[in-house]
Amino acid sequence: MNVDENDLLHPAHGLQNTYNEYKETADWLLAEIRIRPQIAVICGSGLGGLADLLSDKTTIPYEKIPRFPKSTVPGHAGKLVFGELRGKPCACMQGRFHFYEGYPINEVTFPIRVFHLMGIETLIVTNAAGGLNDEFKVGDIMIINDHINLPGFAGLNPLRGSNEERFGVRFPCMSDAYDKTLRQMALDSSQDLGYQDFIHDGVYCMLAGPSYETIAESRLLKILGADAVGMSTVPEVILARHCGMRVFGISLITNKVVMDYNSQEKANHEEVLQTSRHRAEALLRLISNLVGKIN
């Protein structure tokens, strides 16, 4: 059954872009750049320095890209950078979009389908996250092996609405969301770089934000099996897997989540950015090493 575009605005379907709109943006970008990227990296808060490692760069501000949202959060530069990293053609998003900024979920994830139509096959997502696992310390790096889509429990899923079969199947599998081969390659890279002491793997939980978690909420997330918590990443991963892209995810633990009612600690964004700056070099070296291993 064909669905009229106007029907897609009905609350029963949720807001969506059409296939042709994604393709128009992808074609516009391909016309602006010389390379044909195979890997895309989404940089979390304070981690946009990865783009500085690219050679032969082309930088395009988000506001110039048709239909791209704009980043409004400190630590997110709002630029799409194309170039080569370790000989691999890459696209690097300096800043992502968040549901808490007021964007509909389809706008938060808009770049993912554009990347797919540009021919990108591997997505690397990074984020700043609060540590729930007692063994994690501020500045540690967590390779994501699974996630908990807590907003999805309430129906906030980027695939809600009419399915576009040209992107993927109606009910995509998520038990293999984070590619095992890429995770092992990242662990090998951490060995190469001598980072074993502050590398972990674990489960990332997404909350919608922008408020940080209460103590009761944090305790609940830990019971659910989450090792780290943040306000991004999961919608992008769902869209990427729907499109058949390989995904690797990594969290920088920028603060310890408060679990004790007697604690005087308070989560704040400045602490997140400060820790990101402190550990960014190691994280960027790890990603660069990993990209060099990807076929």
Please give the pLDDT value at position 268: 64
Question: Tell me, which fold does domain 11-293 have in CATH?
Answer: Rossmann fold (3.40.50)
Active site residue 231: yes
Active site residue 100: yes
Residue 41's contacts (CB-CB under 8 Å, 6 or more residues apart) are 50, 90, 91, 92, 93, 123, 124, 125, 126, 287
Please give the pLDDT value at position 248: 98
Strand partners, 205: 148, 229
Largest CA distance in the chain: 59
Q: pLDDT tens across 251-285, in order?
A: 999 888 988 787 767 666 676 566 666 778 888 89
Residue tagged active-site, from 232, 251, 276, 289: 232
Average pLDDT over residues 27-44: 95
Active site residue 178: no
Please give the pLDDT value at position 15: 52
Banded pLDDT at 47 (limits 50, 70, 90): confident
Active site residue 101: yes
Q: Is the pLDDT of residue 126 over 70?
A: yes
Residue tagged active-site, from 40, 76, 190, 289: 76
Residue tagged active-site, from 17, 22, 40, 45: 45
Of all residues in the chain, the percent with pLDDT exceeding 90 is 68
Average pLDDT over residues 75-95: 89
Residue tagged active-site, from 127, 251, 255, 276: 255
Active site residue 289: no
Active site residue 232: yes
Active site residue 45: yes
Q: pLDDT tens across 200-217, in order?
A: 999 999 999 899 999 999
Do 207 and 229 contact (CB within 8 A), yes or no?
A: yes
Q: Is the pLDDT of residue 144 over 60?
A: yes
CA distances in angstroms from 194 to 190, 191, 244, 282, listed in the order given: 6, 5, 32, 10
Residue tagged active-site, from 26, 98, 116, 226: 98
Residue tagged active-site, from 157, 174, 269, 278: 269
What does the radius of gyration of the chain's CA atoms come to, in whole angstroms?
18
pTM for the whole structure: 0.89
Active site residue 98: yes
Please give the pLDDT value at position 3: 40
Please give the pLDDT value at position 273: 64
Q: Which of 23-37, 93-107, 212-226 has the lowest mean pLDDT?
A: 93-107
What are the boundaries of each domain within the chain?
11-293
The H-or-E segment that residue 236 falls in is helix 234-242
Q: Is the pLDDT of residue 122 over 80?
A: yes
Place of tokens 């602490």: 271
